[in-house]
Structure 1
């Protein structure tokens, strides 16, 4: 004891005290880990995710989109845990068997499950911090929000800002009682992971000019859209009768003007019979806000046009961060000088653009001309490569023309050389090689860019 006193240290009086100290330390470590993205593997996945609400990322270490997403997940992990959602990640290249069991075909793939009793589902929302935290809020509340006043509806629509639109179900006088409410709850629950739902028994009180039972798609500041079919009235109705409402919701879930990113580019660009209008902007430029307000007015004017020719259903509108996606938009002849308008026909692998179009009245006229077929289309991909490089060299002036001359001669030689026209792959390879060499001579990188879309290897 004298030795202990001399050293200024008093040992634990009992083993119980030591156990308490160790337990406290372990709880601190466990709490710290819980606030982080949990590293999951084939060995611990099922045990670790056996309880609670989980969002899990399957990633590849080399994946560019994964490298951008991982810091976001790290940023929101603690706040998400406080809300009630845990976040985990799996290296899909190291745990291939586990990844295959989840049907992972590209990276990153995000899956979620709100409880052990549910199946894992694909997360298809945005990948910004606000999107992920908004998803947690949406999934941890009742699938139907009760709105009884205009203020309630405004608050509900404000909560949908991260997805753009919300859906309101009118239940007439039945309110939250009876089969109609059970049917509405069932519909909302099945689609809660993608959308916000509310219900009202007094449409007039919340500012919706509709009577009886209805289903409406609403966006703040815009006129509502109404489901033209009969709303399901019993939870036990046949699947086909719910399917019509679900399909309508899926085709009316796009806001008037979407913020384009990796999570929605493919969907926006592949809407049947529609062209994607992209306003390519610099978000930090002082003129961007005014430009987007005018652009939104054009979108509203065209989508609500009473036009028998059908222009109102021909376009879907969005805006794209032209600084972040600078390499991608080069293929559409957008090289700086923002804002710009590009109309994209993904199905036809074509696009329309005019560098002089950047005012609201010019945009509307330009779109009317595109619709009328008065604007010539340009080609995407390899077929449009040479045209894009030609425009770049023209922008360089006389020095650019001197640089491009040898490559024009090379192209001419390729064209005049006899060959097998059926060998399209070889022709495309030659075009790629010529385009890449020309870009190198001009001191410019290849126009091939990281598109805001998901691919099988890099989602």
Structure 2
């Protein structure tokens, strides 16, 4: 039996060589000891196979840190996956003591490492000088970050609420705090203390309702401002974006598609104009985003469309809308008019959560799973689908080709038995000569030919 000491020794050896540890159910006894980055995978999952080399790079990058990197076969240790609330493959989680966070970003080395950095905390990081402010702004030039400006009094009401909101969104974005003297002179504040958000090369200030800051209003403001005007979003992160409570204007654009390069550029330009330069019209109700492939959009439409493709999704009702115009003919005017029409409920919607859509999604998910298994491993596909099909076919063929019992012949046989005389139950009335067992085991001697004494 492998002891806990043996398990700890394997963990330390793995840390030294920068190896991703293959874990088992013993992780449940050690999950609260230190910091863990865990991947839950399935052997047949194509996305898991794509992530494998990237995840090993993450393990090598974290070799000198105090974060232990491991992976678990969720199909083999299902109770472990259930304990960690795993709902799909692959799933990456960070565990530290009682804290646990789920990674929802793009499955790249940089994004996973940034997730680990955020999860380790602190939730609110301090900026001590204007030089540090410029460093932070440079580091997050293409991201969103929030900044509390005040005297940093731990009892300040706004700072307390800001810290609580930062704890909730700790792995989604960065939160900072500092005094007023860290800001350049071109930033003008409307109130003090206050909270600023920096994104899209601009800054915006939190405005408390009726001048009184509340945790609910601050959390709502942070939630609606935590994405750029037109960000790139990975498929695994779509649920996080949906929590903003806005209608999502999603477009799939394949940057490697040279054939549709002009169309893709035109789509991006049109949406950027609406998202950034017509923010007053659409920011409160719509969130624009683009994705590098059409997989997520297809999973919503239950289709197999190729990029470029556009979808407008209402996450609250699960209804979606399809533009009536071709994307090569997109303009700021026709897209803006279409979004206004959706906003006022004048457009027909598709999807939803009705019975028919549930059945349709069940068959679609089954088809996608079969295709995924086929693409990941031909042998696994044969074992899972072809072999059971062959066995069932053989059984069905055997049942269909089995000769039926001829009842007429059976009746004739019974009649023959009756005509011949006695049945088995009348064996006691037969003479000894007809007793088969007696005739075999005790043959009768013939008179006059007995053996002499």
Normalising by the residue count of structure 2, what TM-score does the alignment of the two structures yield? 0.62
Query: Residue in 2 aligned with 1:372?
Result: 341
**Residues 290/221 of structure 1: CA separation in 2 closer, same or farther (3 Å cut):** farther
Deviations 1:408-455 (A, max 9, x none): xxxxxxxxxxxxxxxx759977x999x9xxxxxxxxx99x999xxxxx
Q: Cα 1:185–1:271, aligned 2, differ >3 Å: closer, same or farther? A: closer
Match of 1:315 in 2: 286
Match of 2:326 in 1: 356
State whether residues 326 and 335 of structure 1, in contact with CA within 8 Å, keep that contact through their aligned partners in structure 2: no
The 3-state SS of whatever aligns with 1:353 is: coil
2-side partners of 1:427 and 1:98: how far apart?
29
In 1, Cα distance between equivalents of 2:126 and 2:362: 57
Give the Å deviation of 1:129. Answer: 1.6
Q: Could you say if the C-alpha distance between residues 29 and 366 of structure 1 is closer, same or farther in structure 2, counting changes exceeding 3 Å?
A: closer
Unmatched segments (≥5 aa) in structure 2: 1-8, 373-453
Conservation of the 8 A alpha-carbon contact between 1:66 and 1:108: yes
What SS is found at the alignment partner of 1:86? strand
1:200 is aligned to 178
Structure 1 distance, partners of 2:357, 2:221, is 45
Matched, 1:89 2:71: yes
Deviation (angstroms), 1:132:
0.8
Q: CA deviation at 1:168?
A: 0.9
Change (3 A) 1:261 1:161: farther
Structure 2 SS opposite 1:87: strand
Q: Which residue of 2 aligns with 1:251?
A: 224
2-structure distance, mates of 1:87, 1:144: 25
Change (3 A) 1:32 1:85: closer
The alpha-carbon deviation at position 225 of structure 1 amounts to: 4.5
Once residues 335 and 190 of structure 1 are traced to their aligned partners in structure 2, the CA distance between those partners, rounded to angstroms, is 37
Q: Does 1:137 align with 2:113?
A: no
Give the aligned partner of residue 5 of structure 1: none
Distance, in Å, in 1 between the alignment partners of 2:109 and 2:155 is 38
Match of 1:297 in 2: 273
- Go from structure 1 to structure 2 and tell me whether the alpha carbon gap of 1:53 and 1:244 turns closer, same or farther (over 3 Å shift): farther
Closer/same/farther in 2, CA of residues 276 and 449 from structure 1, 3 Å limit: farther
* Aligned match of 1:21: none
**Structure 2 matches for 1:262-281, cutoff 5 A?**
262-269=235-242, 271-272=244-245, 274-281=246-253
After superposition, the C-alpha distances for 1:332-360 in whole angstroms (9 at most, x for unaligned) are: 78545x4x543234525231224534477
Distance 1:146 1:73 in 2: 31
RMSD: 4.3
Distance 1:140 1:348 in 2: 34
Q: Is the 8 A contact 1:80 1:136 kept in 2?
A: no
Shift of 1:33: 6.3
Q: Secondary structure of 2:111's match?
A: helix
CA distance in 2, matches of 1:148, 1:289: 41
Contact 2:11 2:21 in 1 (8 A): no
Match of 1:59 in 2: 41
Partner Cα separation in structure 2 for residue 38 and residue 125 of structure 1: 22
Partners of 1:266 and 1:100 lie apart in 2 by: 20
Secondary structure at 2:197 match in 1: strand
Give the deviation of 1:364 after TM superposition.
4.3
Q: 1:219 — aligned with what?
A: 199
What is the alpha-carbon distance in structure 2 between the residues aligned to residue 139 and residue 206 of structure 1?
A: 33
Matched, 1:72 2:54: yes
Secondary structure of the residue aligned to 2:201 is: coil
* TM-score normalized by the length of structure 1: 0.62
Q: Could you tell me which residue of structure 2 aligns to residue 159 of structure 1?
A: 139
**How many residue pairs are counted as aligned between the two chains?**
349
Q: Aligned-pair distance for 1:41?
A: 1.0
| Whole-Å separation in 2 of the counterparts to 1:140 and 1:88 | 17
